């Protein structure tokens, strides 16, 4: 186990029993990134400036964003999960944390999932602090960083801008995670932006992820009132402050072309257009 600094230690007086284990930590590398993920990464990366503090969710698309930030300067890290994508930026000299307001000079996270190389880098690294999730995910604290840019994936987005990131209809798919925390943090950050990222289709292009309404029983992970930017491989829909009609038009414009006409007709039936 890497020894990490920060408020992440358990005193021996709090321990009932210790079980030693020689098995190595679970290690994963960077996920595979295809052209769709690369295109989404390009759209998001173009909107992240020098000096931004970033929060990255888990998956191929957030990592595709990270891999296209290697030419930035003085980025900071305030995230729930830290992985090899962020390590790549650290090794490239992109992450300095110099301009952060909260925890200046430190990368901040709650948990790590990556390669053995990541775990070795974490060990007694004074530039990294691990903190409880109620610290890292506090929207007030995270949002006190100027230029906070957050990137999180979703399963489907309806024409009002609601995001379902936790279920396939009523069937659970994932845990809650910090998506809504960091979207709200970015909204309150000076110059901040939040990005909800998703491929435009699923199941080999047969299903649109931009939908008129979420499936029955779907868990609304991030509300329409919080969502700011939705990104697919076809572009960026900026929703915050938009009317229902403007939201529908912007989301249809980044849907897969094969579904745009149908989505437009459904939007008219719903009196959105």
Q: What is the dihedral of CA 229, 230, 236, 241, to 10 degrees?
A: -40
β-partners of residue 163 are 157, 222
* 216 Cβ contact list (under 8 Å, min separation 6): 169, 170
Q: How many C-beta neighbours within 10 Å does residue 252 have? A: 23
Active-site pick, 20, 32, 46, 80: 80
Q: Strand 235-238 and strand 229-232: pairing?
A: antiparallel
Q: Is 80 a catalytic residue?
A: yes
- The CA–CA distances, whole Å, from 139 to 58, 102, 164, 229, 267 equal 19, 12, 20, 18, 33
At 53, which helix (H) or strand (E)?
A: strand 53-56
> Closest Cα partner for 222 from 127, 151, 134, 119?
151
Q: What is the dihedral of CA 160, 187, 50, 95, to 10 degrees?
A: -110
- The contacts found for 71-74 with CB under 8 angstroms, 24 or more apart, are 72/48, 74/50, 74/98, 74/99
Answer yes or no: are the C-beta atoms of 52 and 72 closer than 8 Å.
yes
Residues recognised as catalytic: 80
């Amino acid at each position: 186990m890497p020894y990490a600094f920060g408020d992440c230690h358990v005193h021996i007086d709090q321990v009932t029993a210790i079980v030693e284990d020689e098995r190595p930590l679970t290690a994963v590398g960077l996920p595979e990134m295809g052209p769709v993920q690369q295109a989404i990464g390009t759209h998001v990366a173009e909107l992240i400036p020098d000096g931004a503090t970033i929060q990255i969710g888990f998956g191929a698309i957030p990592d595709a964003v990270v891999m296209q930030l290697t030419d930035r300067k003085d980025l900071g890290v305030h995230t729930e999960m830290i992985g090899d994508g962020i390590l790549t930026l650290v090794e490239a000299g992109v992450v300095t944390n110099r301009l952060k307001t909260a925890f200046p000079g430190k990368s901040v996270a709650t948990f790590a999932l990556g390669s053995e190389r990541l775990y070795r880098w974490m060990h007694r690294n004074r530039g990294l602090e691990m903190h409880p999730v109620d610290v890292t995910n506090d929207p007030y604290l995270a949002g006190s960083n100027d230029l906070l840019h957050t990137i999180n994936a979703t399963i489907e987005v309806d024409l009002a801008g609601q995001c379902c990131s936790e279920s396939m209809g009523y069937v659970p798919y994932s845990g809650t995670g910090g998506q809504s925390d960091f979207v709200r943090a970015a909204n309150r950050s000076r110059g901040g932006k939040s990005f909800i990222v998703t491929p435009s289709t699923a199941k080999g292009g047969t299903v649109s992820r931009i939908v008129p309404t979420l499936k029955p029983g779907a868990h609304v992970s991030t509300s329409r009132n919080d969502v700011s930017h939705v990104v697919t491989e076809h572009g960026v829909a900026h929703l915050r402050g938009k009317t229902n009609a403007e939201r529908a038009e912007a989301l249809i414009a980044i849907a897969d072309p094969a579904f745009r006409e149908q989505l437009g007709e459904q939007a008219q039936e719903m009196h959105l257009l």
